[in-house]
Every structure is written in C-alpha cells, then in structure tokens.
Structure 1
Amino acid sequence: MKHHDLDQLQNLARIDQDFPHQVIPRDQRLRRWTELLEADPQRVLSTLRETEFQPRAVRAALRCDNSAISVAFNDPVLRAAGLENDTYGEAKRFFELSHGQLHKIVCYCHFGTTVSAERTARYIRARHVDRPDGLWARLRAMIVG
C-alpha cells in the first residue's frame, strides 16, 4: 500500500473531507475487525515494536505493513465509517481503545514479531466483542451464566 500526504492526494483525486461517515457503533466496528481477521485465519500479521516505550506522538504515528490495523484499514466499510489510516493512534481513536488495550492487541511483546490473524481475532473477540459491558453486566453474566 502506498501512502500519500493529503496535499499529494489532492493532486491525484478530488477529496471531499466533508463527506459524512457512516455511523457504526463501537461494538460493531470491533466485531467487523474480528470478522476481517477471521476471514483469513492463517494470515501472518506483523506486530508493532515497543508501543509501550514510545513517546505519545511517536506511538500515535506507528504503523507497519500487514498489521492487524492495516487489515482493518483495507476494509472499505471501516474506512467509510471513519477509519482514516492504519496508524496506532488512529486505531486507538476509531476503535475507542485505551493505549493498554490496543497495546495488548498489536505489540510484539505479547506475540513476537508476527502473529496469526486467528489469534489476534480471538483476543479481540474475547476481550472486547463477546465480553459483557460494565461491571454489573459481567457480574450478572457470572452469576446467571
């Protein structure tokens, strides 16, 4: 994938920055991400290095080809919903994840330099998709089943 600055893109195509994004709730965005990863479970994804040690501005700009974030960015549905690029900071914003949550999804210290799409999807689904929201919902799920 070739990346261009916005100024460069203006020369290549007309960009309507006021185009309304399709509103998709957070849980559906995360579910879509897991479905994209599960579509090719054996795909080997690259991880990002040392996200926990980078200054905030550097961490926000981190990206690498063939990461779990780039899988999401390659999806036209998520782009139409407002995913603007495949950087760490944009994934954090778009999927409404904390630094700690996203770190556990994409950082090499949890998986090594590569990880399967299946393992990443399983982690996202278990922690963020199929998990009941809030403390009371989790307690109710534990008690009621």
Structure 2
Amino acid sequence: MKHQTLDHLQAIAKVEPLSRYPIMSRQQRIERWAELLEKVPERRLRALTGTEHLKREARDASRCEGSPISVAFEDPIFRVQGLKDDSYGEAKRFFELTDWQLHDIVCSCHVGTAFRGEWAAARVRRTIGGNKLLNWLRGKMWH
C-alpha cells in the first residue's frame, strides 16, 4: 500500500470525517441528556419498574417506551456517538453510570410511574455533581 498525504487524497477523492460531531466526554453526554429532557419540561415520561430487584441480565435488557432513556435515544447525535438502543444496560454503558446512579434517574421507586421532563433533567444533572462519597458508597453496596 502506498502512503498518500491528505492533500493528495483530497485532490483525487472526496474525503470526509467519520462523524461531523466531535467525540463527547461523559460529562458532555450527561449534560446533553439533561438539555434534551429540558427541551419539553412538561413532557410526561415513564419510569422503569423495580430495576433494583432484577437480575443483571434482565435489568440491562429492561426498557420502557417514553422513558428518559428513550429521549436520549431519539437524539441523532447520541446515536452517532454510539448509543445503540434505549435499554437500561445501554444507557448505563453509554453515559458511564453506575447501577445506583441510573436507578436513581429512571426507576419507579424514586419517581413514581410518570414524571416530568424537567424533573428528570435535574436527576440526570445530579449525577455529574452531588455527593461523591455517598455515590461511591452506594455503588459499593449495589449488588
């Protein structure tokens, strides 16, 4: 294979980056998720039920139409960044959250069966800051 400079390649072919969007950091992804939820503050979202009682495989596969995770998956930028679906496990992986953090955002035991977009945004943002020691301890206690 012959090495070509980018200038030479652009002269003979249309060269485009793989993505028009720069790779986002964890904090940027979480902040964008909160912003998406705030766009429609009165939007009624649905909660996942009993995530803390499910075995890992079932918890990771769980999803709910109209959840905060579904709002994230509707975003084309998140899909380009690698969000594959609107399941609990995929949100945990993509947003780099612990089970405890994601449970706190989406589980019905914290939010009831339905809640507003602006409220979900506040819970998502809390994962960026909050009490780091308490979050660490909760993560250690999660099964």
Instruction: Kindly indicate whether the alpha-carbon contact (under 8 Å) linking 1:47 and 1:106 is maintained by their aligned counterparts in 2.
Output: yes
**What is aligned with 2:116?**
116
Partner secondary structure for residue 115 of structure 1: strand
Distance in 1 between residues matched to 2:50 and 2:132, nearest whole Å: 29
Secondary structure in structure 2 of the residue aligned to 1:83: coil
Partner SS for 2:115: strand
C-alpha separation in 2, matches of 1:119 and 1:134: 21
Deviation at 1:121, TM superposition (A): 0.3
RMSD, aligned CA: 1.9
Question: How much does 1:132 deviate?
Answer: 7.6
Distance in 1, matches of 2:131 and 2:36, equals 22
Runs (5+) with no aligned partner, structure 2: 1-17, 134-143
Aligned residue in 1 for 2:48 = 48
Percent sequence identity is 50
Alignment gaps of 5+ in structure 1? 1-18, 136-145
Report the number of matched residues: 115
1:99-114 superposed matches below 5 A: 99-114=99-114
Q: TM-score, normalised by structure 2?
A: 0.75
TM-score of the superposed pair, with normalisation by structure 1: 0.74
Q: CA deviation at 1:35?
A: 0.3
- The structure whose Rg is larger is 2
Shift of 1:94: 0.3
Amino acid at match of 1:119: W
